[in-house]
Structure 1
Amino acid sequence: MGHSFGGVTAVLALVKDPGFRCAVALDAWMFPLENTLYPEVPKPVLFINTEKFQTPESIAKMKRLSSRNSQTKIITILGSVHQSQTDFTFLTGKLINRILGARGTLDPYKGLDITSQAALAFLQRHLSTAR
């Protein structure tokens, strides 16, 4: 599991280390992932995106991965921004968050709850010991 650059790093870990069975990418910055690696991502990825961060190019890369693995999923949390998936919005006040654009229209607690529930469900499905 990783956020932003860490999100694409989690995807790359699936290629580099066979011990990983899946990845969760939080608002992944997909630019660094080389085009030659797409066919090599062998396992499912859950992309949890925020409404205000992703570019059409990043979304296209995510869709390319999902077309290769039916277990790869892409969701977008409406009303969220890039920092919504971190603790940053809880460390600063509302005014600072507004000035920096670090808080979306969605309540930050609700956004983190949605993120946590989606990630947990995905991980439980793909890391089940019953396999």
Structure 2
Amino acid sequence: MMKKLFALIALSGAFALPAAAQMSPAQTNLDQGAARMEARNARGGQLAPVSPEQATANALKRCANLPAMYKADCEARVKGQGQVSGSVIGGGLVKETVTTMPQSELDAMMKSHQPMAVPAPRN
């Protein structure tokens, strides 16, 4: 009798797990906008394929909005220059470039540099 009860409990648990994995946005700890975005992004099969050339162009567009002091290094990393460490499985790739310049040039850039503003979260 005990073996049958244990088997029944184990079997019912196996059916409950897939249902729990398919939570609606209201059942998650994400805000509604973020949950909808995650659900939309999870539908990857509905997205149009992007060529490697288009992916590079998109990455360079993201560099275009950076302040001048960061833009050149960003573009260099997109084009494959610099050092790469880490792994996708390990949490991400770290791409690093080093720019050497005279101290006077760096001081002038730092004086004209405005800190980047981080957008406030939308509620």
- TM-score class, shorter-chain normalisation, is under 0.3
Report the TM-score when normalising by structure 2. Answer: 0.19
Structure number with higher relative contact order (C-alpha < 8 Å, ≥ 6 residues apart): 1
Report the TM-score when normalising by structure 1. Answer: 0.19
Specify which structure has the higher proportion of helix. 2
Larger radius of gyration: 2
